[in-house]
Amino acid sequence: MDFSLPEVTAGIGGVLTATKAVVSAVKDLKSPPKALLAAISTLETEALDLKQTVLDLKTEALKLGEENLSLRRENSELREQVRAHERRALEGEQYHLKIVGQATVVVKDDNQDIHYCSACWAKSRVAIPLQALPRPMIRMGTHYCPNCKANIHIHS
């Protein structure tokens, strides 16, 4: 838009005031020509149409403002998601897969004693420490992932 809404509103206000002045002046004439009466009637109608157009524009501008706010919010959320993803990717460089017993687990470079779930790591790049099953069973495994509930057999 190359004009501002307040400018347009002020312009329309001026046109309406001028129109009312003309209407009033013409009606004060003792016997105004019919053509002049018709012309000012048209002028009145046009002025009212313009007023309605401005009201519609105001409503539209309000809607666009709300939409803009919502898009800004969404954009900021998406930026935060990208940053979180980048942080996880950076952190991911500190982890690697390791075969322990019969299982493939994820370990951190600086502490290989803690085993993380390789399924959760592969799926969403989250490091979930594996928990020991209270009573290890040969068929069920020795550990489980509290996130994806997978059973893992680490000790052979």
- Per CB under 5 A, residues contacting Zn ion are 117, 119-120, 145, 147-148
Write down the least CB distance from residue 145 to Zn ion, Å.
Answer: 3
Write down the least CB distance from residue 118 to Zn ion, Å.
Answer: 8
Write down the least CB distance from residue 134 to Zn ion, Å.
Answer: 18
What CA–CA distance (Å, rounded) separates 152 from 142? 6
**With respect to Zn ion, which residue has the nearer C-beta, 38 or 148?**
148
Write down the least CB distance from residue 83 to Zn ion, Å.
Answer: 25
Residue 32 and residue 26 in contact, taking contact as beta carbons nearer than 8 Å? yes
**With respect to Zn ion, which residue has the nearer C-beta, 45 or 131?**
131
**With respect to Zn ion, which residue has the nearer C-beta, 51 or 125?**
125
**With respect to Zn ion, which residue has the nearer C-beta, 129 or 136?**
129
